[in-house]
């Protein structure tokens, strides 16, 4: 398990190299329509829910800087856990501002990789007599 690296990260591969600092998490997923970015999902127990953001809120600005489809990832990458941000949204025709404190990104994204080492260790142990092959189901005495 690892933390998602962006709002579009659906897992399936290891995370890219990072500087080791924890990723920030707002607890929301976004939807882009043209250049407009809106809240698609607010995660239960996340910072976005804590301050009252709702699905369909249109993200207008983060810390006074305009948010668009082209700039969203740059804004999100600049966030740090526990550093408050001003999030400006349109809810219908009403302009609202929220102070959100990003949290550490949860390890909620997974990927699988084949670990060749266990089979290598079994083969080496079998050659040296360290493993009873009959105890491995389906092995029929061979590895």
Task: Kindly indicate the confidence band of residue 14, based on its pLDDT and cuts at 50, 70 and 90.
Answer: low
Q: Averaging pLDDT over each range in 3-12, 103-112, 114-123, 134-143, which range is the top one?
A: 103-112
Checking if the pLDDT of 15 tops 80, the result is: no
pTM for the structure as a whole = 0.65
Residue-wise pLDDT for 26-56, tens only, equals 999 999 999 899 999 999 999 999 999 999 9
Query: What pLDDT sits at residue 12?
Result: 59
Task: Kindly indicate the confidence band of residue 8, based on its pLDDT and cuts at 50, 70 and 90.
Answer: low
Beta bridge partners, 58, equal 38, 90
Domain spanning 24-104 has what CATH number? 2.30.42.10
Q: Where are the domains of the chain?
A: 24-104, 115-143
Is the CB of residue 141 less than 8 Å from the CB of residue 134?
yes
Whole-number Å distance between alpha carbons of 3 and 55 = 22
Residue 69: CB atoms within 10 Å: 14
Residue-wise pLDDT for 53-90, tens only, equals 999 999 999 999 999 989 988 998 889 999 999 999 99
Do the strands 103-104 and 24-25 form a parallel or antiparallel pair, or are they unpaired? Answer: antiparallel
Task: Kindly indicate the confidence band of residue 133, based on its pLDDT and cuts at 50, 70 and 90.
Answer: very low
Query: What pLDDT sits at residue 77?
Result: 86
């Amino acid at each position: 398990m690892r933390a998602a690296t962006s709002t579009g990260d659906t897992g399936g591969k290891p995370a890219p190299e990072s500087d080791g600092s924890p990723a920030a998490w707002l607890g929301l997923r976004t939807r882009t329509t043209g250049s407009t970015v809106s809240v698609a999902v607010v995660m239960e127990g996340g910072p976005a829910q804590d301050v009252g953001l709702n699905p369909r809120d249109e993200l207008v600005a983060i810390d006074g800087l305009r948010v668009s489809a082209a700039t969203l990832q740059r804004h999100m990458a600049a966030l740090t856990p526990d550093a408050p941000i001003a999030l400006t949204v349109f809810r219908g025709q009403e302009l609202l501002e929220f102070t959100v404190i990003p949290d550490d990104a949860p390890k909620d994204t997974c990927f699988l990789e084949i670990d060749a080492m266990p089979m290598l260790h079994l083969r080496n142990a079998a050659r040296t007599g360290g493993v009873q092959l009959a105890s491995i189901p389906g092995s029929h005495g061979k590895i």
